[in-house]
Amino acid sequence: MSQLAATLREAADKNHELLAELRQTDYAPSSLKQNSAFIDDLNAQISSTDKELKKLHQVTEDERQDHVRYRDSNFKRYLHKMGGSKGKDKFTSKAEKEEREFLEAWQKERSAKESRHELSRALEHARSNKVNLEQDVKRHERAQSELDQLYDSIFSGPTPDVAGEDHLEQAVQQNRDSYDQANRSLSSEKYVLEILGRADQSLSAAGNHMDDAYRRSQRDTYLGGGTFTDMMERDALAKAQNAIHATIRHMAEAQRHERIKDSDAQVKAAYQDLKGRIEEQKGRCQGAEQNLQQAGNGLEQARKELQRVRAEAFERFAGGGGQRVASAPPPQYTS
């Protein structure tokens, strides 16, 4: 018996245990993502419903006051009474209208409250599920980590007894390098977009301050200025200048990170078309995200294939020792 076969037989029970744990918890990571998205959606609905409830309550209260005020108004009752039967009918009709409007408003508010209660119950249930899912995700991650360590301790380095294992191990490393590079690229593109966003805010602030200075200057021209007006005008101009300087700093920082060697004229053109620059950078971020997704998929496929070959090695070399690995395909190999 080779050393590899002996090692695999010795680790067969642990391998079976970890694969079984992974199969039991394989559902958890994706389910937790769905659960988190559901909770976010419920929170958004509750926030919107609370705002609507506030408005509806105000409407209900206004309608209630109108209804009570009209119903209990002896003066209006007296005026309509003076009009005879038609006056009484008119008063009754108006009172019924006020009551109907109040009841309709109250009904809308009550329906909104019931909806709010249902959302709260759904949120409570979702949060309870999240606790269980988080526990299973931890189980899954722990089992995967232990399986990674077990396989690395056995198969790391040249493994000529397992056909294709060394090649797949190399493929995993290459895909991991590609993924890391794509991740660094995405981080860089996002940082540039963030800087351009700051530049846009600074440029917008500069425009507002310039408008303020212009309005004060116009007021000074037509109405006559004074020390206070001049001071406020200079203050607005100073703020505009500071904002422009901030814009220049942000753009220069963005250029350093983008490694762009633009001329001064191109930089000034970028200032004038900053919105377009931001949209262009958003496109770069989207492209980087797609590259990262593709790299992640490639890494995942390489990991799965490597784990499949290693699991089959346990079946082949440790078939007689310990518990047999189930014939179902092994779960995803995730970090």
Q: Distance between CA 329 and CA 335 in Å, rounded?
A: 18
Closest CA to 251 of 200, 322, 303, 208: 200
User: What's the pLDDT at 16?
Assistant: 87
User: What's the pLDDT at 202?
Assistant: 67
Helix segments in 72-83, DSSP class H: 74-82
Q: For 247-262, what is the mean pLDDT?
A: 50
In this structure, are residues 57 and 111 in contact, taking their beta carbons and an 8 Å threshold? no
User: What's the pLDDT at 251?
Assistant: 56
Burial 278-295, CB ≥16 within 10 A → b, else e? beebeebbeebeebbeeb
pLDDT at 142 exceeding the cut of 90:
yes
Distant-in-sequence contacts of 151-156, Cβ < 8 A, 24+ apart: 151/307, 151/310, 154/4, 154/7, 154/8, 154/11, 154/310, 155/310, 155/313
pLDDT digits (tens, 9 = 90+) for 104-137: 888 888 888 888 888 898 999 999 999 999 999 9
Q: Distance between CA 240 and CA 205 in Å, rounded?
A: 7
DSSP state of 157: S
pLDDT at 68 exceeding the cut of 80:
no
User: What's the pLDDT at 217?
Assistant: 55
pLDDT digits (tens, 9 = 90+) for 265-305: 444 454 566 777 788 888 988 998 898 888 888 888 888 88
pLDDT, averaged across the chain: 73
Q: Distance between CA 239 and CA 210 in Å, rounded?
A: 8
Task: Tell me the Cα Rg of the chain.
Answer: 35
Residue 135 CA neighbour count, 13 Å, CB half: 5
Check residues 220 and 110 and name the one with the higher pLDDT.
110
